[in-house]
Amino acid sequence: MSRVYLLEFRAEVVRLYRAGGVSIERLAEELGVSHATLSRWVKQDREAQTSLDVSVRDRLRQAEKELVRLREENLILKKAAAFFAKESTINR
């Protein structure tokens, strides 16, 4: 019969492993978790981090593109404001 572990427990075990100094085998033995189970948790955590990194990179790339566009629009608006300010002083 398979055991059910709380997500908090799984996260803490993976954090302990990532902190270093202990092999998967030893940590699994100390905590009473099978080697295969702990290996799977570490792999799932790594994959979740990778997909998160991809998502963050995509959002960053979109934000950078929007920043460039907004800076260009701002420059155009400054030039237009200067042009119209100059026009209004000439026509007085």
Distance of CA 62 to the CA centre of its chain: 14
pLDDT band at 91 (very low <50, low <70, confident <90, very high): low
pLDDT at 2 over 80: no
pTM over 0.85? The answer is: no
pLDDT digits (tens, 9 = 90+) for 42-90: 999 988 888 778 888 889 999 999 999 999 999 999 999 999 998 877 7
pLDDT number for residue 77: 97
Mean pLDDT computed over 8-28:
92
34, 28 contact by CB (below 8 A): yes
